[in-house]
Structure 1
Amino acid sequence: MSKKKSWKELSPTAKAAIVTVAAVDAGTRVWALRDLAGRQADEINGPKRAWVIGLSLGSTAGIAPAVYLLWGRKRRG
């Protein structure tokens, strides 16, 4: 098994990739949570509370917010 690398041991490219993924995750998470806050429960597929918990916990590399934005909300109009 290989030893985990510390931040100092990572290449500049690896560091940039990690920071980019974290920034995208944070941005999409804020977008999804703001959208969720502005919707009524009947405009959401599934329990609103479950979406809040799922979007609030941990880093998902943008996957959880993308799932919410694509499938978690019902289309308006």
Structure 2
Amino acid sequence: MAKKLKWNDLGTGGRILVVLTAGLQFGLLGAAWTDLARRRESEVNGPRWAWALAALVNVVGPIAYFARGRRH
């Protein structure tokens, strides 16, 4: 079994990667939820609550919402 890495075990590059990835995740999540809240029900493919939950799935959820969840 692989040893779990702790924050102190990471080098500078690893720490920067973790912070950038977390920033990307939270940025996309915030953008997806904001867009979802501002759209009318008729402009969303499927139920809003489902897209709000799907957006919580790492980076994939918000990207899926922007790709498939909105009607243009």
Q: Measure the CA separation in 1 of the matches of 2:68 and 2:6.
A: 37
Identity among equivalent pairs (%): 33
Q: Which residue of 1 aligns with 2:63?
A: 66
For 1:33 and 1:10, the matched residues in 2 are separated by 32
In 1, distance between residues paired with 2:32 and 2:2?
36
Q: Which runs of 4+ in 1 moved over 2 A?
A: none
CA RMSD in angstroms, aligned pairs only: 1.3
Which amino acid is the alignment partner of residue 18 of structure 1?
Answer: V
TM value normalised by structure 1 = 0.84
> Paired residues, what number?
72
CA distance in 2, matches of 1:8, 1:49: 38
2:16 corresponds to which letter in structure 1? A
Task: Indicate the residue corresponding to 1:37 in structure 2.
Answer: 37
Deviation of the 1:5 alpha carbon: 1.1
Q: CA deviation at 1:70?
A: 1.3
The two structures have a TM-score, normalised by structure 2, of 0.89
Kindly indicate whether structure 1 or structure 2 has the higher relative contact order, using CA contacts under 8 Å at least 6 residues apart.
1
Gaps of 5+ in 2: none
